[in-house]
Amino acid sequence: MHQKLEQLVLLVLVLIIKIISIKAGGQQCQAITYHECKNIGYNETDLPNKFNHQDQKDVALVINQFTALIAVGCSSELRFLLCSIYMPLCLTNYFETIQPCREVCERVRVPCEPYYIRYGFLWPDALKCEQYPSSSENSICMDPKKHEVQSKPSSKLLINSRPSPLPSSASVAVATPSLACCHCNTSLGYRRLHDDESKKECSLPCYSPYFSDEQSKSMMNQWLAFLSLLCAISCAFVILTFFIDITRFKYPQRPIIFLALCYFFISCGYLLRLVLGHKNVACRLENPDDQQAYVQLVHVSGPSNCTFVFVLIYFFGMASSIWWVILTLTWFLAAGFKWSSEAIAHYSLHYHLVAWLVPCIQTITILMLKGIDGDSISGICYVGHTDSSMLRRFVIIPLITCLTIGTIFLLGGLISLMRIRNVMKIQDRTKTSKLEKLMVRIGLYSILYTVPATFRFFCRCLCCNATDEHHQYHYGEHNGQDAYGINYSYKHTKINGSKYSLPSSKQLPLVHV
């Protein structure tokens, strides 16, 4: 009996010591300084948290990974949910972790999880809702919209409580976070297109965030100037040679002249962009009172610098692809079917009709559909920068069609020339030198055209995927599709007045590099 009494006294002493130790050093609340978790309904937290994050810098590294999802505006409660998980509410006289309610998590997960799935990610374990208590179970948890969901009269953050020793201060109502659904990062040049907060539409900046410094702008202009001048000079030399002696270039070689003419005007489009300047071609002034408030042009139609540059680059670009097909066709007719130059030239009117009329129809259609957009890197205007369907219909499909047909004709002509060469070798070996030179020239020219053309095609395909996944969200609803408004950038995270550059999400370039 005496021994049991001693054990009981010892147990009571241990419990008292434990309670005193908890009271003395347990709940050490600290003010929230991480800017993403300010003004969410409470201003003190307790760290380390259940994920063993020791301080707010560690928490910032984690929450900053969700910056792109926050910028989407998929849920106005996402920021509150993240902060309540990683920076839980701290009450000096309550010692258990107060978690977000399951209902909050579910209201966030339903609209936001599709974005994760869209980009090939799994919903994070920390945001899986089944691990959090439900307010319907009379559990202690936080729900900023509990009263709003029930009767919508209150805009207070309340802690749902079960019968417990929770002090009355824990149920004090505090202000809720802003219910704005979408935020445009104005520090990177994004601007809201509408004053209505319910519309998730942000305009793209005039300059890409990654190419906005003066060194990048200068480098871009220097490369554009060098390549454009090189193309213009070489093409002008070919055209000048043709006019000096017109009879020198007969069919099947004459389409080369029209190819050179097309590329000369394409280079003029780029040079015109350099002369007019990036802002005067691909951008517009959003606010006349603010000379720095330039945003990227989208859905352009009608006369403008942007339209003129687009016509020069797109119209003559498509025409050059068709002249490439005509060139390979005439070579094939000459080599495979032994057509004479006169016989091929007899259909020259048809060649010109197809080569100039088809790009003209394409260009007019794009203008009618308002499919021209500015490019925030190069400053030119083209089709499909913000709409992948336009890019597929008016760039990718025409390019692959011309490249495929031209390559078939080219291979057919080369095979025919090889057969002729083999026959001539059997008859007289000395007469094959001119034919071999012709084959080398055709092969070299084909490589010089098909390799860059194939490279341009695959770049457009990759950019089309980029447009699908990362572009259309900036423009609100377009052709019945929802806007995403994701802001992929490097975001500066402020903690205790200091600045940490933390990557928020990997960005695919906003334009087609």
Q: What is the pLDDT of residue 144?
A: 83
Whether 450 maps to a domain, the answer reads: yes
Whether 284 maps to a domain, the answer reads: yes
Residues 31 and 130 in one domain: yes
Whether 34 maps to a domain, the answer reads: yes
Give the structural domain span for 128.
Answer: 27-142
Neighbours of 237 (CB within 10 A): 12
310: DSSP letter: H
Residues 364 and 280 in one domain: yes
Residues 221 and 87 in one domain: no
Residues 109 and 220 in one domain: no
Q: What is the mean pLDDT of each run of 10 residues along the chain (513 residues)?
A: 58 53 59 88 88 89 85 85 91 82 92 82 88 84 72 45 40 35 58 54 76 84 94 94 88 90 96 94 80 81 91 96 92 85 93 96 95 91 90 92 90 82 70 67 72 69 49 37 34 36 32 29
Q: What is the pLDDT of residue 291?
A: 62
Q: What is the pLDDT of residue 475?
A: 36
Residues 332 and 402 in one domain: yes
Whether 17 maps to a domain, the answer reads: no
Q: What is the pLDDT of residue 488?
A: 34
Q: What is the pLDDT of residue 344?
A: 92
User: Identity (one letter) of the amino acid at 476?
Assistant: G
What gap in Å lies between CA 389 and CA 219, rounded to an integer?
A: 31
Residues 386 and 263 in one domain: yes
Q: What is the pLDDT of residue 319?
A: 96
Residues 460 and 349 in one domain: yes
Say whether pTM exceeds 0.85: no
The CATH number that applies at residue 350 is 1.20.1070.10
Whether 160 maps to a domain, the answer reads: no
Whether 257 maps to a domain, the answer reads: yes
Tokens for 484, please give them: 């995403």
Cis check: omega of the bond before 167, within 30 degrees of 0: no
Residues 311 and 459 in one domain: yes
Domain-terminating residue out of 120, 142, 164: 142
The CATH number that applies at residue 127 is 1.10.2000.10
User: Identity (one letter) of the amino acid at 442?
Assistant: I
Tokens for 73, please give them: 């505006």
What gap in Å lies between CA 352 and CA 346, rounded to an integer?
A: 12
Contact indicator for 326, 255 with CB cutoff of 8 Å: yes
- Domains contained in the chain, number: 2
Whether 502 maps to a domain, the answer reads: no
Whether 9 maps to a domain, the answer reads: no
Contact indicator for 385, 375 with CB cutoff of 8 Å: yes
Residues 214 and 86 in one domain: no
Tokens for 400, please give them: 């692959």
Residues 112 and 226 in one domain: no
Q: CA-based Rg of the chain, rounded to a whole angstrom?
A: 34
Residues 342 and 217 in one domain: yes
> Which of 345, 324, 306, 305 is CA-nearest to residue 262?
324
What gap in Å lies between CA 395 and CA 313, rounded to an integer?
A: 12
Which of left, alpha, beta for 136 (phi over 0: left; psi -120 to 50: alpha)? alpha
Specify the 3-state DSSP secondary structure of 91: strand
Residues 127 and 241 in one domain: no
The alpha carbon dihedral of 108, 114, 118, 121 has a sign of positive
Which of left, alpha, beta for 357 (phi over 0: left; psi -120 to 50: alpha)? alpha
Q: What is the pLDDT of residue 164?
A: 42
What gap in Å lies between CA 192 and CA 169, rounded to an integer?
A: 40
